[in-house]
Amino acid sequence: MAELTYREAVGAAIAQEMRLDSNVVFLGEDVAAAGGVFKTTAGLLDEFGPERVKDTPISEQAIIGAAMGASMTGLKPIAEIMFSDFFAVCWDLVANQIAKTRYMTDGQCSFPLVLRSANGGGSRFGAQHSQSIENWAMAIPGLKVVAPSNSADVMGLLAASIRDPDPVMFFEQKSLYALKGDVPDGEHVESLGVARIARAGTDVTIAALAAMVPRALKAAKVLQDQHGISCEVVDVRSLVPLDTQTILDSVTRTSRLVTVEENPRLCGWGAELSSIVAEELFWNLDGPIVRITTPHIPLPSADELEDAVMPSSERIVQNIKNLVD
């Protein structure tokens, strides 16, 4: 085992796949010489050279357009959009071209590409640089959507995304970049579309994603130690494909579901998951499904306000106490 930060795992996964496959290339704004604005890709230019690691102009449309063309002609590009909010600038290419052209050409064109981005709040970047946009992506047929919560999953799921024949949107929660964790030695690849039981429990299922997973785990420990409530924490990891079986199996055991999502409440991924559980397991439930979310507001940049609106471990504890009592 090696201990890597979340940001180091990003670079390690890209390097692993570039060493294994000469068709993997990497492009984005300040990703080469500067090593990325979040220092996730330091050293890649030195190892792989400017033919495979390319700095681009400050143009999201150019970055995504180049990646799309490269994937259509046999390469496996990884394209970085610095902040996920900036996908709004190039959303036509993502939603109307990349997501649909394989279907519209009857498979004559394929898109083995990864669109990486720093996603989510908690870092005081304000409303235009802190959005959590997984729900934008999962609403578009033809895209796979992945959001890891720890270093091992960053490496394993990013490697799997690079190898996948379909376009994958890979969201790295920026407030987790300094988080350290163990990563298996040697070649490490996970499977897309498989949730992970992060903590076993019997009373409540908590489904969480990315930065909400460590908050859910902290809350689960408090609930067990102080209130005798046993929570099973499911790290969803992949929204498309969505591992409904693992989540349904968990809710069957616990009879209660709480979703913890950083997305704004309206149309978040937790609403879809709640709908699935209500349809499949209505008579198994011992209480209402509870969604813990960020309000439907632009995210504040002031420390106290940002902390107040994002789901916290304290809010998770209180909501679950109310549910079980």
- Give the end-to-end CA distance of the chain in Å, rounded to a whole number: 42
Quickly count: other Cβ atoms within 10 Å of residue 285's Cβ: 15
CB contact set of 98 (below 8 Å; sequence gap of 6+): 64, 68, 111, 113, 142, 143, 167
Q: How many CA atoms lie within 13 A of 266 on its CB side?
A: 3
Closest residue by Cα to residue 213 from 161, 153, 168 = 153
Task: Identify whether the C-beta of residue 135 lies closer than 8 Å to the C-beta of residue 163.
Answer: no
From the candidates 29, 80, 129, 261, which is the catalytic residue? 129
Active site residue 129: yes
Give the pair of three-digit tokens for residue 221: 């420990």
299: amino acid identity, one letter? L
Active site residue 60: yes
Give the pair of three-digit tokens for residue 67: 């990646």
Write down the residue that tokens 């890709």 correspond to.
41
From the candidates 8, 17, 29, 60, which is the catalytic residue? 60
The residues annotated with a catalytic role in the active site are 60, 129
